[in-house]
Structure 1
Amino acid sequence: MKTWMISIIFLALVCPTLWGQQADVLLVRLAVSGNQIAEKTLSGGARPWRLGAMPDGRLIFTDSSDAANNEVFIADVSVNPPVLTKVTDTAALKAKVDAENGEDPAPTVMTPQTVDVDEDGHIIILTDGGGEELAYLFRVDPRSGEIALISGLDRPFEPISPVSSIEGNRSMAVLGTTAYILLNDRFGAFYGDSIVKIDVHAPDGGRTAATELVSQTQLEEVIGIGQDIDLNDAAVWSSRRTLVVINSGRAQATDDLLEVDPETGKVSLLVAATDIEADLGILDVGYSGVDVGPNDAIYLLNTFGTTGHSATRGIIEIRNAGEGKGEAVLFASEAEILADPSIRNRAGNPVSRFFHQNAGFAVSPVTGEVFFVDSSGPTQTNGIIGVRRVKGTEPPPGGYGASKHHGGRS
């Protein structure tokens, strides 16, 4: 008998009143296990890092088990076991830069910061490096593997500065054929803390410069003069065609949610951190990821909240967001997710604590299932975890209970 079926029957027997009310049931699965990833990587290891969702519900993720050559995969998690298809790797991306940059040497360090998809199905990859390395933006055709270098070889600020227009990037969201990139002054962004935009269908060659959409001054007007700005992730709110941005990149940041109009650059306070904290009864919040579900709810991966609170290292859901307020609830706690029998590391042992990654969070635009990566050392799953709430009588979504190994555990 399938694991999900046993759980639902148990709920009906021990909680008949709750069952009659069709109470929400939390479904958890290891959507992609560390062993399944390791079967596909060149390194034979598994360390998923960045995560995105495609319009058809498939996931895009990067694997950093080989620091010298990160790989990018598409995962169809509607079936069990999931189907993983490699798109490209940073060795190929470095070679592309080397082919376009004339006499300059190829990049030695390249790390994907974010992965997303444009309206034509191209995979958009934003990278950065270390030290004097430069940031790059790529467009990859997942069918042919063809790579286009959009930006990173531009030098719009010379002779004042040799950096490119996307240097100091932290994360990105793609709406239509435009990438909106979060820049950080701590990482050498010429514009300081700001948001720039660039057409991802720009000519190949890497010499197209991004243009400023939101200035540091605009952000200060909303967040507050003297308040810490550290934008660390963004998501598209499809029904409103706006961007949701979190200011949560370090402890001093305000943890507010901002809404940005991508046409005008207008910034507004979407939900204040103090409002979220009041709803949850928590002293502090701090997020490593944000996305918007097909139900217009906003989901946050609350990684840096108050130690010991059930919402910390859990998933927060916010409905009716606007004008600084929203209705925040704990969608799933870390303890609830860890208790599921599918959450095991590659050796088959239970996991005691999740290790989240910035921009390692996504919501399926098809099913509303919430996904996040859990990766670090061998004590972790080093996989991708899916969480969803359904009514007690609703059958499980695709990928749940489709084999005797609940959640596709290897």
Structure 2
Amino acid sequence: MSPSPRNLLPDLAPWRSSREFRLLWSAGAVTVLGSFLTFVALPLQLKELTGSAAAVGALGAVQLGPLIVFGLYGGALADAFDRRKLIVWSEAGLGAVALGLLLNSLLPRPAAWPLYAAAALTSALTGVQRPALDALVPRIVPHEQLSAAAALNSLRWQFGAVAGPAGAGLLIAYAGVEAAYALDVATFAVSVLIGCRLRPAPPSHGAKRPSLRGIAEGGRYAWSRKELLGTYAVDLAAMLFAFPLALFPFLAEDLEAEWSLGLMYAALPFGSLLVSLTSGWTARVHRHGRAVLWSALCWGAAMAAAGWMTDVWLVLACLTVAGGCDMISGIFRSTMWNQTIPDGLRGRLAGIELLSYSAGPQLGQVRSGGVAAFTSVRASVWSGGLICVAAVGLLALALPKLMSYDARTDPHARRRRAEHAEPGGPDTHAPPDAVSEAPGTSP
């Protein structure tokens, strides 16, 4: 097909065909705007309270433990309970955490420890919520529209990620961090009200209660799918070595451009936004594994260039390119997962997926802060980018199944297409192979 402007525009089919997707998308659009206000305000407040790059980077370490525990358990919950209830109640919990940050910021002498506590609680609640969100989308969106749904969900996130940090810089400068926290609380209240309008999403017939055995069953299935393992490994490497967000307040200061902090946070999602706005071409890509690998390589190279640059506008340009590469990787990772994983295992696999794309950034903040403490801020950024390129290159050699994956011929993707073609789809009955596909179980 020719690359005409019409073919590049985002595909709105999921929005038109599914009321549930419209509600889920709208609730997320409201939440993400407020969340990114806090995303900027929290590390900035911690920097002002401590003045330490290592202390800000330690936020990642605080978030990692809850993310691992609740990410895996949240995936099991998503397969065993009503996914709508998990989404709404965890959203309410996240709003309560934002309220706690607001109350702390209003004290005459705000303490630093509540910021770490809030980071840990946010990580735990995200671990419960995100698998339910991810597992719900393939139920409410037709199989052939899952790539479009991934792009639209990313587009929603990116609008908030661009507007939130950019607005946060101005808002915090004129009204303080407490104004950012207050707006975040308000957005959570709105999103909870929208989420309550979602229809119930009960588990598949025959779903078992959450257990360590059930979590292990999901792990065995993931281990048997080397192409899925490859997507997890590539994303983990990219985020671990080349995700220096904790250093942005210090990088802006090093470049003598403190005014650019909000723009730095906004540059990554702005690059992603540019890709999403021209994402019509993604439906015509079938070798998703290769797309994931190439975009991760370009992400690392762009981050290395950002560390070398001395002009703030060139740094912002490199971060924008990196954000676009991350978006491409995210679209095709999500498409591979949603098009090939059985519904009865989707929550647990979403929990593993959550660890791959969330634990990496948390560890990446720890790595970048620690390296910066021993070397310099800029050295931490460019060295991480180079290590990312090397690590992804090695993974490309070690993961031939990821390189050869083709959605047109993959047996798991073909099986899911057949299920969606049946009357009622996979949301009314457990897939006939949800158990038989899991290694170590009887057909």
TM-score, length-normalised on structure 1? 0.24
TM-score, length-normalised on structure 2? 0.23
Point out the structure with the larger strand share.
Answer: 1
Highest RCO, 1 vs 2 (Cα 8 Å, sep ≥ 6): 2
